[in-house]
Amino acid sequence: ASSGGDLGTFGRGAMEKPFEDAAFALKPNEISNVITTKYGYHIIQVTEKTPSKVTPFETVRVDLEKDLKASKLDDAMNNISSQLQAELAKNPADAVAIAQRFGAEIITVKEAARGDAIPTLGVTPEIDSALAGLKIGSASSAIAIPADRVVVAILDQKIPGRQSTLDEARGDIRSQLTDEGARK
């Protein structure tokens, strides 16, 4: 309505089938009979037709090759990740040997809390979420993390949370009070 009913140009597959069939059957400046779609009733006038364009293969070749390589790499990574996860699920105690067999990197974190940075990975909410649902001695499924990396986490122990002592919390409290005072 805001453009006076002008839909601009569109290609096949963009409109409801009855509408599209009628529009593409018309010649420039022809007006259709009443067309019914789920949106209501329409009368179409085609003002012009733009010839379809075929992009030369050489123009899209590089993009197609890049997409194909990315797709193959993604498939290979998923396959390897699935195999790695399956073997770790069977025997998480042999994680080092299994990782070496698959050419995977082992990162051991002795003790970490949710939100802590993991060496070479940084802060990874994806791993935090996966670990929260794991049982001790089990392996996660493959976890995609930023920088096109895939991780499988193994939980070997859970350390129960505890209340911080005043000495441990003093720096955080001081920082919060300083920030609050600065805002005021």
Tens-digit pLDDT profile for residues 67-88: 999 999 888 888 888 888 888 8
Alpha-carbon distance 182 to 179, whole Å? Answer: 5
pLDDT digits (tens, 9 = 90+) for 8-53: 888 888 999 999 999 999 999 999 999 999 989 999 999 999 888 8
pLDDT digits (tens, 9 = 90+) for 141-180: 778 788 777 788 888 888 877 788 888 888 888 889 999 9
Say if residue 134's pLDDT is above 80. yes
